[in-house]
């Protein structure tokens, strides 16, 4: 049996690995000129390399950690600096957080845990919680915080986690993800980076395959019949028995399907939103932040939102910006130097040591149009159950089809699911 895999991000590559291991013949197609999708490690030379896209692995993302182990890699733990907090001119850190912000944070966590007790799995089985699906995460945070500073802190924290403003996130969808956190103990989030970067890992995955990828192959049309599936690309065609599509929802919307996808599937694809996330990075001639006894990580109420130090030989800071504020940065003519200006408001040393920088604006990416998916209000009960199931010989993978929505772990989860779907066709 010949299986086509369209989209060679980490879900497509993992699917190919598992299918080849099971004895299937796979054909690989990718629209970009590289594999990895929204995982991209940039090497600018002179010790500067950084993740332009996905970067972190949580310590309970066991699929990710097991994948590293398959290639004899071990996750790199970041330096244990406490994150600095800037709010309306007041400065603190997560190690010594303001009491009012801490109390609001704990109040939100307790309320979320209580609501999760009433949830069933899968998430779309919670029809009795339709009111939650209509509400937003912002509604919930406002309801369970008592101070402006506490509201800012929890908003900043969860905006970073979700990849968009809390007003864009459905409460039921957020709780469906929060369930994964209930058994966590200790410092779990953003626990590891990939040695050599995610691009290196993706190249290792590709190198483990017998199949050769056809890069620069943007899918235009799919036609399926009782005997197989025909794929039409910009400059080529292919015929396979089954096809697995790992494309992000915006890319799927541009593909013509013959016959047309069922209405519920089309609506689910259209309703699946992508987080508005960008990264701005700066190289400096020295790690000036260390002289200030600061580790480079900050949450701020200013335009930069969040920063951290990249794991490379050169001194590089990264700003991670989400939501409507990120869209404002995409409209700037020079976001790198505008970022230095904003950074100088927090640390006056920054401009003096600045050398060069880069901006990666994922909402402008022609294939993804965002960083990763999130569950908007109304999505869980109206659309979520329809996003993943196959349509005859067409199968769907990617983090947007997983229970670990929005995570690299979810991309790998989806690979395991579609492989089981293919195996069932052979049974």
Q: Going residue by residue through the chain (427 aa), what tens digit of pLDDT does each one get? A: 999 999 999 999 999 999 999 999 999 999 999 999 999 999 999 999 999 999 999 999 999 999 999 999 999 998 877 899 999 999 999 999 999 999 999 999 999 999 999 999 999 999 999 999 999 999 999 999 999 999 999 999 999 999 999 999 999 999 999 999 888 877 688 899 999 999 999 999 999 999 999 999 999 999 999 999 999 999 999 999 999 999 999 999 999 999 999 999 999 999 999 999 999 999 999 999 998 889 999 999 999 999 999 999 999 999 999 999 999 999 999 999 999 999 999 999 899 999 999 999 999 999 999 999 999 999 999 999 999 999 999 999 999 999 999 999 999 999 999 999 999 997 6
Is the model's pTM score more than 0.75? yes
- The hierarchical CATH code for the domain 2-38+196-273+374-426 is 3.50.50.60
d(Cα 256, Cα 420) in Å, to the nearest integer? 26
Is there a common fold for 2-38+196-273+374-426 and 41-56+75-80+190-194+275-364? no
Angle between helices 62-70 and 198-207 (to 10 degrees): 60
d(Cα 184, Cα 256) in Å, to the nearest integer? 43
d(Cα 187, Cα 354) in Å, to the nearest integer? 32
Place of tokens 């976001």: 335
φ, ψ of residue 188 to 5 degrees: the values are: -105, -40
Q: Domain segments of the chain: what residues?
A: 2-38+196-273+374-426, 41-56+75-80+190-194+275-364, 99-181
| Among candidate residues 20, 149, 425, the one with its CA nearest the CA of residue 12 | 20
Burial class (CB in 10 A: 0-12, 13-18, 19+), 167: middle
User: What kind and span of H or E run contains 181?
Assistant: none
Strand partners, 298: 84, 307
d(Cα 6, Cα 255) in Å, to the nearest integer? 12
Greatest pairwise CA separation for the chain in angstroms:
67
d(Cα 304, Cα 357) in Å, to the nearest integer? 15
The CATH class that applies to domain 99-181 reads mainly alpha
- To the nearest 10°, the Cα dihedral for 418, 422, 423, 425? 140
User: What kind and span of H or E run contains 94?
Assistant: none
3-state helix, strand, coil in the chain (%, to 5): 40, 25, 35
d(Cα 111, Cα 78) in Å, to the nearest integer? 30
Q: With b meaning 16 or more CB within 10 Å and e meaning fewer, what string describes 370-395?
A: bbbbbbbbbbbbbbbebbbebbebbb
Q: 41-56+75-80+190-194+275-364 domain in CATH 3.10.580.10?
A: no
């Amino acid at each position: 049996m010949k299986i086509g895999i369209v989209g060679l991000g980490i879900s497509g590559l993992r699917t190919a690995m598992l299918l080849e291991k099971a004895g299937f013949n796979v054909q690989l197609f990718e629209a970009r000129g590289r594999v990895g999708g929204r995982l991209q490690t940039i090497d600018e030379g002179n010790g500067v390399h950084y993740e332009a896209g996905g970067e972190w692995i949580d310590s309970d993302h066991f699929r990710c950690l097991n994948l590293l182990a398959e290639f004899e890699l071990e996750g790199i733990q970041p330096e244990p600096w406490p994150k600095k907090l800037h709010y309306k001119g007041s400065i603190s850190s997560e190690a010594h957080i303001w009491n009012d912000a801490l109390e609001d944070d704990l109040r939100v966590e307790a309320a979320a845990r209580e609501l999760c007790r009433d949830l069933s799995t899968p998430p779309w089985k919670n029809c009795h919680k339709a009111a939650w699906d209509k509400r937003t995460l912002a509604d919930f945070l406002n309801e369970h915080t008592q101070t402006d500073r506490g509201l800012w802190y929890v908003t900043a924290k969860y905006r970073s986690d979700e990849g968009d403003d809390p007003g864009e996130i459905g409460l039921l969808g957020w709780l469906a993800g929060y369930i994964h956190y209930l058994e966590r103990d200790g410092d779990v989030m953003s626990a590891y980076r990939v040695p050599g970067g995610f691009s290196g890992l993706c190249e290792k995955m590709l190198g483990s395959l017998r199949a050769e990828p056809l890069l620069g192959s943007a899918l235009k049309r799919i036609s399926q019949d009782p005997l197989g599936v025909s794929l039409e690309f910009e400059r080529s065609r292919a015929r396979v028995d089954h096809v697995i599509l790992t494309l992000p929802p915006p890319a799927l919307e541009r593909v013509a399907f013959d016959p047309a996808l069922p209405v519920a599937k089309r609506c689910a694809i259209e309703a699946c939103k992508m987080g508005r996330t960008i990264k701005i990075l700066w190289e400096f001639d020295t790690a000036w932040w260390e002289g200030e006894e600061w580790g480079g990580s900050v949450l701020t109420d200013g335009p930069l939102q969040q920063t951290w130090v990249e794991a490379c030989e050169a001194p590089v800071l990264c700003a991670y910006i989400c939501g409507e504020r990120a869209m404002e940065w995409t409209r700037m003519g020079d976001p790198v130097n505008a970022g230095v200006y904003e950074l100088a408001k927090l640390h006056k040393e920054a401009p003096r040591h600045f050398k060069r920088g880069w901006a990666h604006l994922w909402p402008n990416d022609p294939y993804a149009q965002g960083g990763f998916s999130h569950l908007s209000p109304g999505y869980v009960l109206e659309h979520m159950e329809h996003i993943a199931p196959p349509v005859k010989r067409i199968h769907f993978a990617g983090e947007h089809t997983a229970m670990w929505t929005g995570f690299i772990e979810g991309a790998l989860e989806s690979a395991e699911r579609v492989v089981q779907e293919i195996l069932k066709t052979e049974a």
